[in-house]
Structure 1
Amino acid sequence: MLLRNFLPHSLALVAWLSLAACTRSGSSSQPSETALPASFNTDWEFVRDVDTVVGPAFFVREDKVRPWAGVLLPHTPRLEAVVTKEQQWQGTCFYRRFFRVSAADTSRRVAVRFEGAMHEADVYLNGLRLARHQGGYLPFTVDLTPYLKANVENCLLVKLNNQDNQAIPPGKPLKDLDFNYYGGLYRPVQLVVQERLRITDAVEAARPAGGGIMLHYENVSEQQATLHVQTEVRNDYRDARISKVQTVVLDAQGKEVARTLTDAPLLTPGAATSVRQLLPLAQPTLWSADRPYLYQVVVSVLNDKGQRVDQQRLSTGVRTIRFAPDGFYLNGQKTRLRGTNRHQEYPYLGYALSDEMQYRDAWKIKEAGFNFVRCSHYPPSPAFLQACDELGLLVMNSIPGWQFFGDAAFQLNSLQNVRDMVRRDRNHPSIVLWEAALNETDMSKSFMDQAHQAVHEELPWPTDVYTCGWLDYAYDVFIPARQHAKAPDYWHKYSKQKPILLCEYGDWEYYAQNAGFNQTAYAGLKASERTSRQLRGQGEQALAQQALNFQEAHNDNFIGPAIGDANWLQFDYKRGYDPDIESSGIMDIYRLPKFAFYFYQSQYGPVPDALGFGKPIVFIASYAQASSTPRQVRVYSNCSEVELQLDGRTLARQRPDQDRYSNQLAHPSFTFTVPAFATGTLRAVAYQNAKPAAEHTCRTPGSPHHVQLSFDKSGRDLTAGRQDAVFVYATVVDAQNTPIPTATTPIRFAVTGDAELLGDNPVAAEAGVATTLLRAGRTAGTLRVTATTEGLPAATLELPSVNP
């Protein structure tokens, strides 16, 4: 099987113990000294576009032929321009790392786990090729133990090729693909050291419903729940071993709420067994989107002396889910799925995001008012899923695929992707749907049957497991895009007794199908005006039209049996088949919001959830620019009334709209008529229970006066030593600190401290904001960013870079 094509002399793959770069498992006694590094994401060397024949020189430091450069992981082979006629880099690149191990470590089990290597990888140690892996979105692990040399330098070499390969999903040539897949070791690499009596890894074990640790809940209510824990223990010693499995459950405060100890069967050399345990939980706090409460499950393997020889710690949420034709039920409560789609790329860095950057993306999706995200069109980073667990985002996890159905090798790899995705991610409470389907692809019935069955074989529970696919055939939930049906009814009249969830809407209809059937002015708009593909720099009218398109489509999706929807999409992104940005995101590629962001934000609340999302909000979708005639201004709010003022004079205080764009919404928009003015200040005050709850002010901008600097934290500090990066924004403002949306001023950035700036420099402002990407170095400290532009005073921002 191509996806997991390991050479015969490779041993079974090592278990992944945690998201840390290097994890040590030890007994309860003092661990022995080791020469293994504290982190395995540092001290790599990289080269690309060189002779691809691997020879002895690759494994010695004194390689004078190839220009090896020192790098940290995650890493991208080339920083990519945001907009260019040149296609992203494809080719062969190499990563290598020199490291030492002690004799004590060679008596254990040492392996290397790759979270994401795009997309064909050959792994060598000291000149010997140990493994080949095909597939860029899911992990694989290589056992190094038999080939390590103690107390001398070992060289680990990874050869990667991200060129088109129709056997490797998504399979479609990049020049025809509606997204990019970038190269490199773009997710963390872990060096894992375990005792030879150990917990296995689910992906490595490659057994249906087996390997590693698998969690499942039954009899769930607010009064009780039963946690089923299945742990696979393996003995790699040369003699039989006795072991026990101990499982402890801790609540969010670290208090123990359940414990059990179970004898494992006697394990002969090379044997593995699954130990099943039941732990009753009294009055559990249930996990939900509004209150994402997490427990910790700590599973330990004890030897015959009662010493801990291996341990894993997992977070878990107690919850039930049910999809039915009339709705989605979370913990028995009917819940409308209000979602978006997300591509994982960043400008310049492609896929090479730190765990903190993954968290910030999830934070922004939650901040936008969504409770659901589809991982289009491939499995995301484990760090993103962990963030969804913590923030309360329901997830549709997806295999790689888009408009391509390859030959037998491709199909075999796709089915392996299904299993590996489920094995890697099965314990996340956030995941409610498994998209075991190739998006917008004419799959065979046989393939769909096998993909659907694979999920249920991996998760053999009678409840809480649901597959989904864009074709209405084998899957538990039907997930068409809105545009897969015709206006004006779309999916209003879908009558099958199957849950239907609209997994994409708001883009293609308005781009290609003239879908604005309710908009009275739509027929007179040019194609460039009616589309939802609008960059921030295209102005107020374009952004207002995009927001109206999304509002109209979202409102229409409530008509009929759909149990929820996911717009296309959260962030602008790049794609292989077009050099331009795909700009239907409600935030741009730099994670700056467009007007549509605030429409969606207004659909959540106004009572804050447990994490503070969903507060009362109000937003004026206007730049308050001069107008010689009266005009309509739309205001978004989740409150019951809004008052709009112009220069302190109340224009109106009114209830929400009840028009054809709003009549199905939880929180319709507010439309005001604003008289002509040359300059002025618009102020909106939102009222809830007759009391002011939120306000927003926008002013007619004056002349450029200075630059303001800010940076995007989104719940996570900039972290040193982890390739973490944050966006720094330079906003051109007038003397009253009003942003100037027409400013295109080039701005140059500089930084002092242990950090670097990535990408273009200077950067032209778009809609008044120039953005740079600031990456922290190895040491924590205060960083100082300066922005300069001709004719305006320099601006300075200090921000901290913190330790992990």
Structure 2
Amino acid sequence: MPRFSSLTQVFLRVGSGLLLAMAVSECTSPPARLAPAVDFNQDWQFVKDIDTAVTAQFFTETTDTAVQWVAVSLPHTAQLEPVVTDKKQWQGTCFYRKFFQVPATDSSKRVAVHFQAAMHTADVYLNGKKLERHQGGYLPFTVDISRQLKYGQPNCLLVKLNNQDNPAVPPGKPLKDLDFNFYSGLYRSVQLLVQDKVYISDPVEAGHTAGGGILLHYEDVSPQSATLRLQTEIQNDAAQAQTVQVRTTLLNEKGEEVGRTQNEAAGIAPGAFERVDQQLSIANPKLWSPEQPYRYRVVVEVLRAGQVIDRQELQTGVRTVRFATDGFYLNGQKTRLRGTNRHQEYPYLGYALSDNAQYRDAWHIKAAGFNFVRCSHYPPSPAFLEACDELGILVMNSIPGWQFFGGTEFQKNSLQNVHDMVRRDRNHPSVILWESSLNETGMSKPYMEQTYQAVHQELPWKEGVYTCGWLDYAYDVFIPARQHSKAPYYWSKYTGKKPLLLCEYGDWEYYAQNAGFNQTAYAGLKESERTSRQLRGQGERALTQQALNFQEAHNDNFRSPAVGDANWLMFDYKRGYAPDIESSGVADIFRLPKFAYSFYQSQYGPAEDRNGFGKPMVYLATYWQPASSKQVVVYSNCDEVELQLNGHTIARQRPDQNVFANKLAHPPFTFAVPTYTPGTLRAIAYRNGKAAAQTERRTPGSAKSLQLSYARLGKDLTAGQNDAVFVYATVVDANGTTVPDATTSVRFSVQGAELVGDNPVQAEAGIATILVKAGVTPGVVQVSAAATGLSSNALKINTK
């Protein structure tokens, strides 16, 4: 347990080697070390599907005709997976190797390799010697190579990966029965750490309960003051005892110093670690919230004989959380959790997303009006959590698991997942819940008790720490799905003593008529008039039905004592047990919004937050063509909406008040258009009697051209990071209106970057999509597209 004494004041930092810092702090961002970690993502070699044991030949650069190594960079997936296929996701054994040198002048340093994640059983070798086996595909591990390294000479690091079904490795369930894919490869970043042998330890590598790295905690938080208490663990790998000090500087967002402290010199025995307790008083703190995600910057330095030997920077947010049966309280204010679920996959690339791509997903979630996300059903990338910190998205962090409870080894590994997840992510201001439960799984009581205790052992505070689980046992917050209770009341009659959060809704209860988990018996039940599983290409009626389902369920959830809810889900995704796309996302697998996206967007605001989200909006949920319904639904977060057709006002009215909308913050507006007339529908939204936003829909004509665009979403396409963006070719008519029933085949051409995926691509709902991945060198990427009978613009993307 932490020894928070009154010694000095604050010290923050995350993890041991620079790299892991990306995932810590009650608020954090990637830290910068005194000697920055070396980006180890370039110049790897890769091979898969070879039936051979590891031999000495693997560690030499001489040509081996038996093994055809391919040059790759990280993050990397072992196989690009098609969007839809009858074949299952690739599973098997693959190898990654990297030749590198560390200068002889660093022979007195600690050298380690940090893996953010590897799917899912990793054997790590250096120069022919096996150093470590790590099991688990979602959390980090660090391998110290100091003793085996040849300083000033070539070295070969080899990683053997296997992602085949393994009942001992969570999620454990065979892929053919799993409701998501876990993909393959070294799909997150790898860094080389070159450090002084006296350093701030990494919390996961250290493996100390409530220890390792920086453990951060806020107390007595108010708008007038706050106390930041922390514990820093310093490891001494040197052969002699060491005497060190810690100096910490706290900066506001302008870079102005608002606090500084330095502790007394402390001695650390060889091979031992020491924990330094500090605290800092913050006057008039700016509190972190989804609307105002203010972050301070902390610079932490470790000194020996007055010289800085280790240094990190991170960003931290000051806030308090409390769950009660009557609501969730953030900074003492009751806050409704309005959330979604997210799978981290991309088409083609699987899990191998750049940090920028992780940020863009978070941007989408915030832009869609959500203030909360559940990381279903595994811990996300550190970069995703950092984006949630920055953009203001509250997070439920989750261990790997879904409908599978394995044996003793599985349970041991799952419990370790709980410890490692908390150690990695404990300092993010965005993380408010720890799902230390296996989703929709029949767990034993001893297991649930252990996983509950693990979180509270790692974070031994009296307040502000909350576990959650889908069974009403052991955990602090009860998180069933809506369909885990029966229609028509669902959870409206819940009288339990725990805070209730509905962690899934809007899909299964419509897909299977509350059929429960018997997916084999109900495999063929797909009633198009009821299901929320609607692809964008299924048309306006399908997208309208999906949006209504989500609206009805979200509205009904307010009749229960739930403190919030999370819909299923944000993005369409692929599953192990089915070849088709699971299409209940409010955006498709290419991140293109459906009508439901705008419904949720209308539930936020209309006051703009500090990141520009939540401002007044209005959206017409129609394509306005002959087959369109004359009942036109408009989504807006404003007081009134006026609908015009070809310049003539049809009506100006207040929001709907019916059984599907009477609990919503901003119900939709449903207009009855007397007769269909082609032309332009315009919606004007009013706030306090003044026009605040407007939009229009024009009846699409015949296809004339392609318009190219790309999804920047707050982050430029960046070279040298395997960064990839979606590029869209939209089929438009002579007026630039999307032709929503176009299924045109589009062929793309890319210069200055790599085109990932299929080419040509068939448009869906008028839009054809590719992924463009930047190369190593910054420059101009040029994209063009061609389709029979259509002209096209050219797209230029400047990479950073």
- Which residue of 2 is the match for residue 641 of structure 1? 640
Task: Give the C-alpha shift of residue 528 in structure 1.
Answer: 1.8
Alignment deviations for residues 154-173 of structure 1 (CA, whole Å, 9 cap, x no partner): 00000000000000000000
- Return closer, same or farther for 1:538/1:652 CA change in 2, 3 Å cut-off: same
What amino acid maps onto 2:675 in structure 1?
A
Q: Secondary structure at the match of 1:579?
A: coil
Distance 1:162 1:38 in 2: 27
Is contact 1:729–1:771 with CA below 8 Å preserved after alignment? Answer: yes
- Which residue of 2 is the match for residue 280 of structure 1? 281
Alignment of 1:53-452 (within 5 A): 53-62=53-62, 63-303=64-304, 305-452=305-452
- Number of residue pairs aligned between Structure 1 and Structure 2: 770
Is contact 1:14–1:143 with CA below 8 Å preserved after alignment? Answer: no
Is contact 1:24–1:192 with CA below 8 Å preserved after alignment? Answer: no
Alignment of 1:342-741 (within 5 A): 342-513=342-513, 527-627=527-627, 631-741=630-740
- Return closer, same or farther for 1:385/1:211 CA change in 2, 3 Å cut-off: same
Distance 2:311 2:88 in 1: 45
Alignment deviations for residues 359-399 of structure 1 (CA, whole Å, 9 cap, x no partner): 00000000000000000000000000000000000000000
Task: Give the C-alpha shift of residue 538 in structure 1.
Answer: 0.2
2:790 to 780, 789, 792: 792
Task: Give the C-alpha shift of residue 794 in structure 1.
Answer: 3.2
Distance 1:396 1:351 in 2: 19
Distance 2:674 2:569 in 1: 34
Report 1 or 2 for greater relative contact order, CA contacts < 8 Å, sequence distance ≥ 6: 2
Q: Secondary structure at the match of 1:312?
A: strand
Please list every run of at least 4 consecutive aligned residues from structure 1 whose deviation after the TM superposition is greater than 4 angstroms: 19-26
Q: Secondary structure at the match of 1:614?
A: coil
Is contact 1:264–1:275 with CA below 8 Å preserved after alignment? Answer: no
Distance 1:752 1:700 in 2: 35
What amino acid maps onto 1:779 in structure 2?
T
Is contact 1:15–1:192 with CA below 8 Å preserved after alignment? Answer: no
What amino acid maps onto 1:174 in structure 2?
L
Task: Give the C-alpha shift of residue 247 in structure 1.
Answer: 1.5
> Which sections of structure 2, spanning at least 5 residues, go unmatched?
1-13, 23-29, 516-524
Q: Secondary structure at the match of 1:472?
A: coil
Task: Give the C-alpha shift of residue 260 in structure 1.
Answer: 1.1
Is contact 1:343–1:571 with CA below 8 Å preserved after alignment? Answer: yes
- Which residue of 1 is the match for residue 26 of structure 2? none
Q: Does 1:781 align with 2:779?
A: yes
- Return closer, same or farther for 1:514/1:121 CA change in 2, 3 Å cut-off: closer
Task: Give the C-alpha shift of residue 106 in structure 1.
Answer: 2.0
Is contact 2:403–2:439 with CA below 8 Å preserved after alignment? Answer: yes
- Which residue of 1 is the match for residue 5 of structure 2? none
What amino acid maps onto 2:782 in structure 1?
R
> Which sections of structure 1, spanning at least 5 residues, go unmatched?
1-12, 516-524
Distance 2:190 2:356 in 1: 16
Q: Secondary structure at the match of 1:509?
A: helix
Q: Secondary structure at the match of 2:794?
A: strand
Q: Secondary structure at the match of 1:549?
A: helix
Task: Give the C-alpha shift of residue 677 in structure 1.
Answer: 2.5
- Return closer, same or farther for 1:627/1:455 CA change in 2, 3 Å cut-off: closer
What amino acid maps onto 1:737 in structure 2?
G
- Which residue of 2 is the match for residue 16 of structure 1? 17
Distance 1:439 1:526 in 2: 24
Task: Give the C-alpha shift of residue 248 in structure 1.
Answer: 1.4
Q: Secondary structure at the match of 1:228?
A: strand
- Return closer, same or farther for 1:14/1:207 CA change in 2, 3 Å cut-off: same
Greater alpha carbon shift after TM alignment, 47-56 vs 733-742: 47-56
What amino acid maps onto 2:443 in structure 1?
M
Task: Give the C-alpha shift of residue 65 in structure 1.
Answer: 1.7
Distance 2:701 2:374 in 1: 41
Distance 2:265 2:177 in 1: 52
Task: Give the C-alpha shift of residue 685 in structure 1.
Answer: 0.5
Q: Secondary structure at the match of 1:118?
A: coil
- Return closer, same or farther for 1:25/1:665 CA change in 2, 3 Å cut-off: closer
Task: Give the C-alpha shift of residue 265 in structure 1.
Answer: 3.0
Alignment deviations for residues 397-438 of structure 1 (CA, whole Å, 9 cap, x no partner): 000000000000000000000000000000100000000000
Distance 2:94 2:695 in 1: 50
- Which residue of 2 is the match for residue 766 of structure 1? 764
What amino acid maps onto 1:126 in structure 2?
N
Is contact 2:756–2:770 with CA below 8 Å preserved after alignment? Answer: yes
Task: Give the C-alpha shift of residue 20 in structure 1.
Answer: 9.1
- Which residue of 1 is the match for residue 518 of structure 2? none
Q: TM-score, normalised by structure 1?
A: 0.94
Q: Secondary structure at the match of 1:117?
A: coil
Task: Give the C-alpha shift of residue 678 in structure 1.
Answer: 4.8
- Return closer, same or farther for 1:314/1:627 CA change in 2, 3 Å cut-off: closer
Is contact 1:23–1:191 with CA below 8 Å preserved after alignment? Answer: no
Distance 2:31 2:649 in 1: 62
Alignment deviations for residues 730-775 of structure 1 (CA, whole Å, 9 cap, x no partner): 000000001000100000001112x110000000000000000000
Distance 1:37 1:486 in 2: 53
Q: Secondary structure at the match of 2:415?
A: helix
Distance 1:354 1:336 in 2: 31
Distance 1:572 1:649 in 2: 38
Task: Give the C-alpha shift of residue 234 in structure 1.
Answer: 1.3
Q: Secondary structure at the match of 1:643?
A: strand
Distance 1:450 1:265 in 2: 35
Q: Secondary structure at the match of 1:419?
A: helix
Task: Give the C-alpha shift of residue 555 in structure 1.
Answer: 0.2
Q: Secondary structure at the match of 2:569?
A: coil
Is contact 1:249–1:298 with CA below 8 Å preserved after alignment? Answer: yes
Task: Give the C-alpha shift of residue 796 in structure 1.
Answer: 0.9
Task: Give the C-alpha shift of residue 696 in structure 1.
Answer: 1.1
Is contact 1:249–1:295 with CA below 8 Å preserved after alignment? Answer: yes
Task: Give the C-alpha shift of residue 778 in structure 1.
Answer: 0.7
Distance 2:526 2:152 in 1: 70
Q: Secondary structure at the match of 1:718?
A: coil
Alignment deviations for residues 92-123 of structure 1 (CA, whole Å, 9 cap, x no partner): 00000000111221210000010010000000
1:756 to 745, 754, 757: 754
What amino acid maps onto 1:462 in structure 2?
K
